[in-house]
Amino acid sequence: MIDVQAELYTIGREAILTEHSNVTMSSTVTLKPSDFPFVSIVEEDNAVYKRTSDSARIENHAEVMIEVNVYTTGNSKQQDARSIMATLDKKYGDIGLQRMMLSPVPNYNDTTIYRLIARYRGIISTKKEIYRR
C-alpha cells in the first residue's frame, strides 16, 4: 500500500497553521468539535490505480482521496471558513492534488456552526510523486 496519509496531513496542517495560528486540527473524523475554528483532514480513500498495475498486480500508483472539513463560529464564520479553506486549497493545488468538490454543509442541529467540506484527489506513485489525472 502506498501510504501518504501522514504526509498529506502534515502538509495541510503546516499550511493552515502558518496563516491561521488559532485553528485546532485533527487527522480523524470529528462530528462535533469542542474548539473553533476546527479543521479535520482525513484520508477517505486509497485505492490501487489500475491503469498502471503490472501483470504481477503490484501497486505502482494509488488514487488517494482526502476530505477536509472546516468548522467555524462567530460573526464572520463563513468568511473565516473560506479563508482557511483557501489556504489549504492553494497548498494542495501547488503539490498536485485536484479539488473534486467544495460545499457548505447545513448544520440544522446548531446553526451557530458553519461547516465547509472539500475533497481532493491525486494519483501517487511508490516514490510519493503526485500526478493529476
Q: What does the pLDDT look like over 59-82, one tens digit per residue?
A: 889 999 999 999 999 999 999 999
pLDDT at position 51? 84
- pLDDT at res. 40: 98
> In the CATH hierarchy, which fold is given to the domain comprising 5-28+35-131?
Alpha-Beta Plaits (3.30.70)
Ranges of residues in the chain with a pLDDT under 70 are: 57, 133
Residue 68's closest CA among 25, 36, 132? 25
- At 74 the pLDDT is 96
The pLDDT mean for the chain works out to 94
Query: Rounded distance, CA 1 to CA 132, Å?
Result: 19
Domain range summary for the chain, segments of one domain joined by +: 5-28+35-131
Cα dist from 107 to 3, 25, 111, whole Å: 32, 20, 6
